[in-house]
């Protein structure tokens, strides 16, 4: 063995090479793969993969937006009517929005109309919104009702002003009293509203009415009263102050608010009936010296037949109704009223005076068998001094 071969084996022996493991030797590259150790990444320029022209085409294609197809407003409204939840923001142009509103008005569904109106309010300027609503009275009414429900009276006033529905502003004046039981607070609100809007819409009649309303509230605050209307307050005064304090405050009330004789008489009549004060009713409305004679005159602005019907609702004694029946000028009307109200004594005496036996016998069917009226009727029929016509 030559010296070169000896050197080779000696070098191999010093490295402790195992001949049996030679087939399992792993290259550095393979060691990295199996050990999980990642190699350093090589980043290549994009231009080495794709040309500038091709890259531009790809980017242009990515930025391309397909125009959204908006369904016809009529179709959208029909789908909403069928219960579909459809978002309206796809309608961008003013023309499409107005077509939506018109389609909703054609369907005439209140909820859908309001939904479209609120969409328009949110997406249009105030001037444009009110201008378009002013051309559609139905839309104005739906939006006004909505504002009343949410009690946004300032927006309601703006709506009426902007859409030239000036007369409706007076309704807001009435709505101010809603849910406000504090008279002082309410009076301040009414006065403030009057200052803000009186010059815009009040006609002479409206001014008079609204001024009277505020005067009424001031009167109530001054005298610690709380009825909701003039008639109600006058009734309350007669019920509570008439007997105790006389008619001083009542007279002042009637004069200040210019209540006519019909209104006052109706209240007095109602109060007397509620209190069952029949003598006072007679004293006030029939001249006492005329009670016992047949011809009587009702001292009232109320028509006699209407007066009789009104007091009959309170079930007065029969003789009280008879007294007021005598104030009805027409005999046939008196008889009709007496029969309608079952004033048996009056009807029986009337047929006896007319010597109408047939009518009296026929009327017997309406009289209770054992009543006082039946006794009067039978005694009249058996009276030999009466000479019957039939």
**DSSP states of 333-347:** HHHHHHHHTT-HHHH
Low-confidence ranges of the chain (pLDDT < 70): 1-44, 46-48, 54-69, 179, 201-202, 245-246, 288-295
Check the CA dihedral 328-330-332-336 and report its sign. Answer: negative
* Model pLDDT, residue 293: 54
pLDDT digits over 269-281, tens only? Answer: 999 999 999 999 9
* Model pLDDT, residue 144: 95
* Model pLDDT, residue 30: 44
* Model pLDDT, residue 61: 55
* Model pLDDT, residue 18: 44
Q: How many CB atoms lie within 10 A of CB 269?
A: 20
Q: How far is CA 97 from CA 100, 142, 258, 277, 373, in A?
A: 5, 17, 53, 68, 78
* Model pLDDT, residue 247: 72
pLDDT digits over 133-171, tens only? Answer: 999 999 999 999 999 999 898 899 889 988 988 888 878
Integer Cα distance of 158 and 165 in angstroms:
10
DSSP labels for 94-105? HHHHHHHHHHHH
CB 346 within 8 A of CB 338: yes
* Model pLDDT, residue 350: 93
């Amino acid at each position: 063995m030559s010296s070169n071969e000896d050197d080779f084996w000696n070098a191999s022996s010093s490295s402790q090479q195992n001949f049996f493991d030679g087939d399992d030797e792993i290259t550095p590259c393979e060691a990295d793969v199996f050990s999980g150790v990642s190699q350093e990444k090589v980043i290549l320029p994009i231009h080495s993969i794709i040309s500038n022209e091709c890259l531009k085409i790809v980017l242009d294609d990515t930025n391309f937006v397909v125009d959204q197809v908006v369904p016809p407003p009529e179709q959208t409204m029909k789908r909403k009517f069928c219960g579909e939840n459809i978002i309206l923001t796809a309608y961008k142009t003013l023309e499409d929005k107005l077509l939506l509103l018109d389609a909703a008005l054609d369907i005439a569904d209140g909820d859908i109309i309001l939904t479209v109106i609120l969409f328009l309010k949110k997406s249009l300027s105030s001037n444009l919104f009110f201008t378009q609503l002013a051309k559609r009275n139905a839309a104005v009414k739906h939006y006004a009702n909505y504002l009343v429900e949410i009690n946004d009276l300032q927006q309601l006033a703006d709506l009426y002003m902007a859409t030239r529905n000036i007369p409706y502003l007076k309704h807001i004046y009435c709505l101010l009293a809603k849910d406000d039981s504090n008279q002082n607070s309410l009076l301040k609100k009414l006065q403030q509203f009057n200052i803000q809007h009186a010059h815009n819409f009040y006609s002479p009649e409206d001014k008079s009415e609204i001024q009277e309303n505020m005067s009424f509230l001031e009167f109530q605050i001054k005298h610690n009263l709380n009825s909701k209307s003039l008639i109600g307050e006058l009734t309350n005064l007669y019920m509570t102050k008439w007997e105790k304090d006389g008619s001083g405050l009542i007279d002042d009330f009637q004069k200040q608010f210019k209540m006519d004789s019909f209104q006052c008489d109706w209240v007095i009549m109602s109060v007397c009936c509620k209190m069952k004060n029949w003598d006072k009713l007679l004293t006030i409305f029939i001249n006492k010296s005329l009670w016992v004679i047949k011809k009587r005159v009702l001292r009232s602005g109320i028509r006699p037949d209407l007066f009789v019907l009104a007091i009959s609702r309170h079930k007065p004694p029969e003789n009280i109704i008879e007294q007021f029946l005598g104030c009805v000028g027409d005999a046939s009307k008196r008889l009709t009223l007496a029969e309608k109200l079952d004033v048996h004594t009056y009807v029986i005496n009337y047929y006896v005076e007319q010597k109408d036996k047939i009518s009296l016998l026929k009327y017997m069917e309406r009289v209770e068998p054992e009543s006082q009226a039946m006794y009067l009727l039978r005694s009249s029929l058996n009276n030999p001094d009466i000479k019957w016509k039939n």
